[in-house]
Structure 1
Amino acid sequence: MRRYHDSPSVQQLQRISRPVQGNGPVESVDLIDVQCGGYTAGGISGSTPAALHATAAAGSTVTLRWTLWPDSHVGPVITYMARCPDTGCQAWQPGTSAVWFKVKEGGRTGTTNTWADTPLMVANSGYQYTIPSCLKSGYYLVRHEIIALHAAYSYPGAQFYPGCHQLQVTGSGTKTATSLVAIPGAYKSTDPGITYDAYKAQTYTIPGPTVFSC
């Protein structure tokens, strides 16, 4: 009912997405699991690289598919990218280095009950992000997440659902991002976007850095 997760047979397939170890959330901003998924409590710390990359041009739009999202799990949807080595992402782990930049974010619409993840509560809905048109060509790891806030009125309470996929970006762009952040490290338990009462009619501050702009 949430996102797709990986059975042992699925993990043997070659693909662009790094494996997701289960359907449950990450609940700590300090665990490596908050980067691309993982299940440290069960002995699986973080995720592992995928074998393949999808090719996409800078400036193009990528559509991601989620399983039907529970209508109680309101929250922001945030997308980051990190530049991989020139040899690709297939053997690279970001660790705790500051390599991530934000390319899209969506939160709450004013004080209404409409959130960035609201469209995902309808079957067969997708979520789109655009690769910055000025971005230098090369290999990139994309981190996409929903933060469910239905129990975030105290910490721990926010539920993180991250997933990562690997791209080879083409084009004539020359720009590399600055003001990079580490994940874990970009979020704090005291951030107003992490500890937040979603049942109150109040504005919402999306956590993390500002969105990269060309």
Structure 2
Amino acid sequence: MKFLATALGFASAATAHTLFTTFYVDGENQGDGTCVREPTDASTANSPIYPLNGDDMACGRDGEIAVNYICPASSGSQLTFEFRESPSYTSSGVIAEGHKGPCNVYIKKVDDMFSSKAAGSGWFKIWEDGYDVDSDTWCTDTLRANNGHLSVDLPTGLPSGYYLVRPEILALHAAVDGDPQFYTSCAQIFIENGPEIELEIPEKYEVSIPGYLTSDDAALTFNLYDTPLGEYPIPGPDVYIPTSESIGSKQTQKDGVIPSGCLAKNANWCGEALDTYSTQDGCWASAEVCWNQADTCWDSVPPSGYSGCTTWNNYCTKIGDNCEAGNYDGLPDFDLSEVFADVPGPIPTPYGSFETTPVTGGDSSDDSSDGASSTKAASTTKAASSTEAASTQEAAAEETSVYSAAATTTAKAAVTTDEPVKPTYVYVVPGASEDATSTYSASPEQTSESSGNESGLKVSEDGRCGGETGQTCEGSTFGNCCSKKGKCGRKTRHCSCGCQSAFGICD
């Protein structure tokens, strides 16, 4: 029986790993597996993705196969991804406690959801979280504290159209042995009302997946067991958040629309209405159509579960029972409501501190001033109070601003399993001496003639730098720039304002 074979496949799924199974738009559960590309083999669905240079790195195993439905989202919507250790939620859990590492969220615009390749160019990162040295907290720790939920805001500068959204978890417990473990799959969305511009991704932000990482990257060889742990270099490019204050006219989604007349739904399958009847032949004809639809449901069951197929099965059985009993008075009354797995906890608010790039008139090309300028509070904050937003917008009218989750470290350190981590976005206007529009250079210009060896400083191997450490970032695998906080890196926050040129290379 299809039911038995499917159930046995679910029972054999590996433990301790994880899979993105359930998608939320603005806090609304879309249904287990709905709009999500999942592996077809439930027994290995939550296993890590191999190899690093394989196409499965884009959207996971079987990730090149589009699912039937595409979830609509508005410009700036909050997206939430639910990760489960047991994909069908037969038991609770997110990922093993020892599987520590960073999280990233990438997005890619596609012309045709059902024919465009997931693997390849066009990807860029809209969110990241790594390791907080001060609180000794990894992104996966926060993910577990939030019951497997990870939330991000869609950038407001994305034009209307179809997109793949890719949450990525990297577990580092075996990285020291050459086995970094990636967990990823993709959600399919349609942005309905983005600004009427072309999406132009500056070259330094756009990556190809696979190809964006190599096995010897510092982020993939990081020793999780060093004591103390130093700064962790998050893998991949800098975050790119295009923003716009304009909202385009609402576009009509033509492909992948979830039917409004579904009698029952399981992931990306819909139970369609049956013909009513008043005769024996009509009764059995409806029963046959019902069972044919049930077969289609079972054939399409993803690892996230089959509760909708079970519901439809019971409906077909009820029709058949009526036919056998000589009851031909039409379709039976039956509760065909979609069955949702228990939501493991409240939906968390997005957290993080990222620069934003305003885009207007379709011109978001990369130049000497792109990538670090940010937009006003109204286009980026969801959690800030109205008072904070209003006062900040007044300041932003005169100066460029950056936004940050100032309470991130504190909130993470105080995580509980009862409440989600909900740092509040606040806006900080840089001082007059700070350059909020400086850009990151892949090869920063050297400002000092002396190298790490010539200066007598040790090249940093733990990501720390500065006078107290006697270490320089120049030549470090963590990046050549020493930030004002004494951390090596290669991103704007390391190489621009406050960068310590005596202990590395600055823009």
**TM-score, structure 2 length as denominator?**
0.37
Q: Does 1:211 align with 2:239?
A: yes
Match of 2:34 among 15, 26, 30: 15
Alpha-carbon contact 2:63-2:185 (below 8 Å) kept: no
Q: Which has the higher helix share?
A: 2
Q: In structure 1, what is the equivalent of residue 118 of structure 2?
A: 94
Match of 2:172 among 134, 149, 155: 149
CA shift, 1:112, in A, is: 4.8
Instruction: List alignment gaps of at least 5 residues for structure 1.
Output: 7-12, 39-44
Instruction: List alignment gaps of at least 5 residues for structure 2.
Output: 1-14, 22-31, 85-93, 243-507
- Inter-CA distance 158–4: structure 2 relative to 1 (3 Å threshold): closer
Q: Which has the higher strand share?
A: 1
Q: In structure 1, what is the equivalent of residue 187 of structure 2?
A: 165
Give the distance between the partners of 1:14 and 1:23, measured in 2 at CA: 14
Secondary structure, counterpart of 1:153 in structure 2:
helix
Superposition pairs of residues 113-128 of structure 1, within 5 angstroms: 113-122=136-145, 124-128=147-151
Compare CA radii of gyration and give the structure with the larger one.
Answer: 2
Q: Does 1:70 align with 2:85?
A: no
Q: In structure 2, what is the equivalent of residue 51 of structure 1?
A: 68
- Inter-CA distance 46–141: structure 2 relative to 1 (3 Å threshold): closer
Q: Percent identity?
A: 30
Secondary structure, counterpart of 2:104 in structure 1:
strand
Q: Does 1:104 align with 2:127?
A: yes
- Inter-CA distance 50–117: structure 2 relative to 1 (3 Å threshold): same
CA shift, 1:47, in A, is: 4.0
Give the distance between the partners of 1:181 and 1:123, measured in 2 at CA: 29
CA shift, 1:144, in A, is: 1.0
TM-align CA RMSD: 2.2
Alpha-carbon contact 1:49-1:92 (below 8 Å) kept: no
Give the distance between the partners of 1:175 and 1:195, measured in 2 at CA: 38
Alpha-carbon contact 1:19-1:47 (below 8 Å) kept: no
Give the distance between the partners of 2:118 and 2:170, measured in 1 at CA: 21
Give the distance between the partners of 2:36 and 2:109, measured in 1 at CA: 16
Match of 2:47 among 15, 20, 24: 24
* Deviation string, structure 1 residues 27-81 (Cα, Å, up to 9, x no partner): 431111211111xxxxxx6541111111111211111111122110001111101
Aligned residues: 198
Alpha-carbon contact 1:186-1:208 (below 8 Å) kept: yes
Which 4+ residue blocks in structure 1 deviate beyond 4 angstroms? none
> What is the letter of the counterpart of residue 83 of structure 1?
K
